[in-house]
Structure 1
């Protein structure tokens, strides 16, 4: 017997339709590359998405065509999120921080029909013009008066001119909720990037779940600033989750320095934000150097790479709660968040901090497990290492255009590539990436643990731990540190700083001080380059 409920598909435009109807006047604030502030509302955004959908169809696009974006966090990029997917096309967000050849590969591999680009990123496209043979049109996300000129890319189209020529009447197509609406490529640290194709259904379910109290905890009273870029895994779902709950959106554009972020937090009343540790280190250092606070900011979600305990403590001292999160491109991306369970409210400050450093527990819609080399579940003892597997309605089942499957062959679980422990309360802690864990004398040493200890040293700005070959032990840890401005850390003193914090055999054999460390396009330490750098 079937239930007798209405068969209403879960579609991306239904999120914005809800926001425009029930939160019509709620603000969307964005800042462009020059620092100018733009203000709009959900009702106005909804109307402009109608114009955008008409313009896309006038360009000859059809359902399933890919529309690539090279843009920062702004109101026009938000329009593309809804207008492209809602019209039945696929919004393909491209990371402009990738190497040019990687971007060229991605555009060709995705078979993008149209590219929409911020004015300041047009030179990037000029540099990969040889890869754009299949692109029908390049649309610059600006008004006519600010259109750039290009001899290499003739025929650039102006976004605002296209929209001005269209009306606001548009009948959104009745789409299959399992149809593709978004596309994002993995960062490609090994081999070529791979395309992860999101459906309307997966996107809506992810947005509904990440807004829950024990995940992001969003509401209509939230003022949310996604510092994580919109080109990186749907800005962790926030451009969908915030309109779904009716909150105010603050889009910071490309300026993510401490002073610029602080100004938006104070002036726009930001209560919630999310981003990677490297960005927050800049904000915290600026606030301390200038004697400022971060009110009314109350919650910061940190992911992308492990959050050092000292960062959690620094935010707490300023009155902001850190929620440590884990996810990846293939999980849309959220998979776990560290929020205490019932019975953990009475933890000591030390125990609470230790819990906060874990990536957390899965929420409804996603399931996780950790297995040994034989595929058997490891015990939930907080100590036994296992390979992390994931499954759920917003977890990748295959890559665009590739026959290979990312799922575990025996059980239909996605192999994340992370090594983890799970404690008795179900909290997952990332020990390392499979390829980065240090194997010394048959024991595993977590590079993340070593890095977190190192950055707690008052003279260390950033740290990376990597394995170096060792004739006796197989591998031994080598630590590379970047000093804080004006500091000259002593390698011997840094090694001594580890005493009592880890077992003696885990202490790095050597510490090297360098001016900077290489990162991936999404802000993670690029361990492969660091190994090359160290020889």
Structure 2
């Protein structure tokens, strides 16, 4: 047997710092524009961003944070949050983004499970920090992303100030060359069943994902773009845009906390945004504003829509009414998160309009680097004909193999089981048809049906309860609670049961409606038949269908 011959190339590790270093050198004067929580517009360049990220790295080193330790963030999309992305990972510290929209108990679990050393926070989250700090004793200090506050958090742990930390450093630092397999970023799932689980990305996987995100038939980010990620930087690293934009040298526009239609439109127009990305709920608000105001987009060319399925009517409104191309995307936390995007090839672009539209309404083809298959109950791969459906399995260099804190493999025969039920057609286009788990997706965020049910059955007048997803015109899905009363609780009303939820779950997890039935359908083994329930209530109209979900 002949011996394999190794290539004669440089052994340069893939490090996250290379992305910002490249932008600082070769797109040095390209702008990063942020709407600050203070209300004003901040602008500087990639050159400035790298220097401040290096100052932060020096400050964290002085604080004694070492390689592999985790530093959390509770922050909106802004330039300081971006600096935290690179000032941590650039020296081997793990950047752990935390979703502040989760229920308090979940955030406490996540912070403690990650064993965060310090946590950066925007001052809009001061009240949240005051609740978290006593419950997270291993956090050494909380770093406010700004100058000294008039009213700092009243907590026992030290409160430090970001700008004060940076002022003490000079930024004269060479990014170290790190083993590309060491951890870079930590993102937690939203806890569809049980506790949230952590996806720990590597330096290598993060850089490869950035390349994948920037590909022409992916998000297609280039140096000619001005990119505005509406998807939060605390939500799976804003789908990789904070890494892909500097890779390409694109202008980056960060919207802060104001994500209403008017605020987004005005920022897009002022900064010449060509590409944006976010969940359908955000785009509903933006479309409503431009319609009511009678305005049009003058620079926006395309938008990536993911987090939950893009309604066909939304796709048509963007493309037919405003000339903005929609890129329908699918992914998950365990995939860093991008998996597939609906972009047509040369031949598909020349099909009849409705045939093109039919493909674009699907979740698209996988990015090179991601492989997909659907498997049946017997574990065998199923046909790629757009009809046969099964559980979607994926693999690739930015797909997890194990969850953080666990030595148990998350894979099945080398593939990650996503929990989605899907079809793949002969064009290679993916279409998600259902969830194998009974999770509810509201505005791109997960709601655990079992957690909602557990609160209901804790009520003394409830014998049994099932929570299912019910279609909602704005949020995609909202929870509908189906309840069997106890014989002694026949007086229980919808209003009384909903009031029982107060303080027990996040408000936006609360059911939008309650329906009382005599019995729930069960399988032979005693499990609830939620598929049957969804069939029974598929035409149910929620009372909130014309308004908002709880905030």
Question: Is TM > 0.5 for Structure 1 vs Structure 2?
Answer: yes
Aligned to 1:339, which of 337, 343, 351?
343
Counterpart Cα distance in 1 of 2:361 and 2:206: 28
Aligned to 2:9, which of 5, 9, 18?
5
Compute the TM-score of the two structures, normalised by the length of structure 1.
0.85
Aligned to 1:360, which of 364, 371, 374?
364
For the Cα contact (< 8 Å) 1:187–1:520, is it kept in 2?
A: no
Aligned counterpart, 2:542: 513
State the 1:153 CA deviation.
4.2
Counterpart Cα distance in 2 of 1:44 and 1:33: 20
Give secondary structure in 2 for the equivalent of 1:69: strand
Shift in CA distance, 176/373, structure 1 to aligned 2, threshold 3 Å = same
Aligned counterpart, 2:234: 231
Aligned counterpart, 1:497: none
Aligned to 2:244, which of 233, 241, 251?
241
Aligned counterpart, 2:26: 22
Shift in CA distance, 147/3, structure 1 to aligned 2, threshold 3 Å = farther
Counterpart Cα distance in 1 of 2:55 and 2:397: 32
Counterpart Cα distance in 1 of 2:201 and 2:358: 34
1:252-276 superposed Cα distances (whole Å, 9 cap, x missing partner): 0011000000011100000000000
1:417-473 superposed Cα distances (whole Å, 9 cap, x missing partner): 0000111111000001112499xxxxxxxx99x94xx84xxxx88555979755899
Q: How does 1:226-375 map to 2 (within 5 A)?
A: 226-316=229-319, 317-375=321-379
Shift in CA distance, 394/154, structure 1 to aligned 2, threshold 3 Å = closer
Matched, 1:394 2:394: no
State the 1:403 CA deviation.
3.3
Q: How does 1:102-181 map to 2 (within 5 A)?
A: 102-144=106-148, 146=149, 148-153=151-156, 155-181=158-184
Shift in CA distance, 471/156, structure 1 to aligned 2, threshold 3 Å = closer
Counterpart Cα distance in 2 of 1:520 and 1:197: 31
Matched, 1:424 2:453: no
Counterpart Cα distance in 2 of 1:157 and 1:86: 21
Give secondary structure in 1 for the equivalent of 2:33: strand
For the Cα contact (< 8 Å) 1:179–1:199, is it kept in 2?
A: yes
For the Cα contact (< 8 Å) 1:74–1:251, is it kept in 2?
A: yes
Counterpart Cα distance in 1 of 2:158 and 2:538: 58
Counterpart Cα distance in 2 of 1:271 and 1:58: 40
1:228-253 superposed Cα distances (whole Å, 9 cap, x missing partner): 00011110000000000000000000
State the 1:129 CA deviation.
2.3
Matched, 1:42 2:46: yes
1:278-331 superposed Cα distances (whole Å, 9 cap, x missing partner): 111011011111111122101000000011000001111211000000000000
Q: Which runs of 5+ in 2 are unaligned?
A: 441-467, 483-519
Aligned counterpart, 1:51: 55
Count of matched residue positions in the alignment of Structure 1 and Structure 2 = 477
1:403-425 superposed Cα distances (whole Å, 9 cap, x missing partner): 332211xx210010000011111
For the Cα contact (< 8 Å) 1:64–1:88, is it kept in 2?
A: yes
Counterpart Cα distance in 1 of 2:163 and 2:479: 48
Counterpart Cα distance in 2 of 1:358 and 1:207: 23
Shift in CA distance, 354/407, structure 1 to aligned 2, threshold 3 Å = same
Give secondary structure in 2 for the equivalent of 1:345: helix
State the 1:519 CA deviation.
7.3
Matched, 1:89 2:128: no
For the Cα contact (< 8 Å) 1:20–1:43, is it kept in 2?
A: yes
Matched, 1:75 2:75: no
Aligned counterpart, 1:500: none
Query: For structure 1, which segment, 72-81 or 29-38, has the greater mean C-alpha deviation from structure 2 after superposition?
Result: 29-38
1:4-54 superposed Cα distances (whole Å, 9 cap, x missing partner): 111111000111111000000000000112321000100011111111111
Counterpart Cα distance in 1 of 2:239 and 2:550: 17
